Amino acid sequence: MMTLDPQLVDVYYQLLHPTFPILPLNKASLSNLLAIPPSPNSDVSETTASVVQLFYFSLEALVSTASRSSSRNDDIHNLFSSIFRMFAKVLPSHIYSQNVIILICSSLVLLCYTVTLQGSSTDVNLSSSVAVFNRQKFFKLFWDKSQPVTNNNYDDYSSLMKRLYIQLLILDSIQSLSFGLPKCMNFEVDVSIVDSLFPNFANFDLTKNNMKLGLLLTKICESRDFTKPYALASCPKINPIGKNVDQDGITWAFWDVILCRYEFVNFLDELSKEKNLDEETLSDYQLKCSRLVKKLLGALSILLSSIKNYTNSIDTNLLVSPYLPMIFKQSIKLLNLSNIVINSLQTNKDLISRLSKLLNDVISLTNYLSLVKPFKNDDLNNHLKFDFRSQHLAWFEAEEVEQDATHWLGLMKDIDGFLRGDDYDGWF
């Protein structure tokens, strides 16, 4: 039977596992997982060997994707298809080891994560992966409160499958928000469940932060109403993610940016309902708008300065983040929209000095963003690629314009529509 390359395993556990743990928490548990006793049934032995081999290829695909120096280009779709075929063979029989099921499910999550890091959509394979998990009814594992994860059972079947189920839920949410798709998984769970999935013999704060962020993104996904055109989505107004975690600054900072984003959207929604603003009320709204943009830029500054692994690759010997592709794409949009809003406010003479500082911040942050290249595909790394259209924007781009409530309110309404649509059309 095929054996795993120790170097491959070491790279995974050092640079990929801490931020998004798919495999057992203990490296030794992985060896035990792969040590499946031979079966006297030749068909079972052959299928088991194939499952182990596919697991190896799936792990290799993830590590290869996370390496910029690697030239390997796995056919991810074929790997998915092979695993689904193996599951179809294993499903009707009860003679296979539980380890075989764990390896099949681990392989699927590894591949879904691989596609997420590539910045690609995998809705067909993701939905089929969800079908595998649901066919096994893993959601029932969360019903039994008498089997908590402890220092003695953190890598047993139940504990492993609970974590894998939540990780698949998170990857589903990332795909859903990135590409504007309905979620494949319908499983409501509170963010607090993350703490119950880990033992207390070690510090798993970094891991927990990433999983909590994933479940917060899940809440945003669940707030969308696909039966109505661009219905206003919402996000939890809390930040349960710890700030003081070694090796991690971007998780809580990204959620802080998201909170600022939705605060601005709610402001635009409120503004869109106003009719016939007098000059004083308009000025008050514009002042509030400038403050919200300042707050958003401040959050973006903290987020972008906290990024250490610009390429999100293991070649840097730094941790890989499942959220950097999404962070990059959202930062492009939010910086460009901030620039548009700031320029539109320059018709308000009382805000000129305030706006000058904000424009400098936008330029500085845009330069910083140009360093971030989370994708192997250079076209996806284009930090200048931004498309926003508004008939009111051209008016503000003229050389000299006067204060005009109609054009400003129209532009803000278009930005509101853009951000609302972003939740349905995709953050990418």
Six-digit token string for 177 = 């928000």
CA separation (Å) from 11 to 16, 105, 245? 7, 21, 21
Q: What is the sign, positive or negative, of the torsion defined by CA atoms of 394, 397, 399, 402? A: positive
> What percent of the chain stands above pLDDT 70?
96
pTM, whole model, 2 decimals?
0.95
- CB proximity list for 127: less than 8 A, separation 6 or greater: 184
Q: Crossing angle for the helix pair 324-344 and 279-305, nearest 10 degrees?
A: 150
Measured distance CA(321)–CA(316) in Å, rounded:
13
DSSP-based three-state secondary structure for 133: helix
Six-digit token string for 261 = 């984003």
Give the per-residue pLDDT at 333: 98
* pLDDT digits 0-9 by tens, 320-362: 999 999 999 999 999 999 999 999 999 899 999 999 999 999 9
Give the per-residue pLDDT at 238: 78
Measured distance CA(134)–CA(137) in Å, rounded:
5
Give the per-residue pLDDT at 425: 95
**Residue 253 zone, left/alpha/beta (φ > 0; ψ -120 to 50; rest):** alpha
Nearest to 165 by CA among 141, 146, 190, 191: 141
Nearest to 289 by CA among 402, 412, 390: 412
Nearest to 161 by CA among 134, 188, 186: 134
Give the per-residue pLDDT at 264: 98
Measured distance CA(36)–CA(97) in Å, rounded:
7
Cα-flanking dihedrals φ and ψ of residue 248, to 5°?
-140, 120
DSSP 3-state percent helix, strand, coil across the chain (nearest 5): 65, 0, 35
**Cα angle vertex 79, ends 57, 9, to 5°?**
20
Looking from the CA of 352 toward its CB, the CA atoms found within 13 Å total: 4
Q: What is the pLDDT along the chain (428 residues), one digit of tens a residue?
A: 566 788 999 999 999 999 999 999 999 999 999 999 888 888 999 999 999 999 999 999 999 999 977 655 568 999 999 999 999 999 877 788 899 999 999 999 999 999 999 998 888 999 999 999 999 999 999 998 888 899 999 999 999 999 999 999 999 999 999 999 999 999 999 999 999 999 988 889 999 999 999 999 999 999 999 999 999 998 888 778 877 665 668 999 999 999 999 999 999 999 998 887 889 999 999 999 999 999 999 999 999 999 999 999 999 899 999 999 999 999 999 999 999 999 999 989 999 999 999 999 999 999 999 999 999 888 899 998 999 999 998 888 776 666 678 899 999 999 999 999 999 999 99
Give the per-residue pLDDT at 319: 94
Measured distance CA(197)–CA(214) in Å, rounded:
14
Give the per-residue pLDDT at 116: 96
Average pLDDT of the chain to the nearest whole number: 92
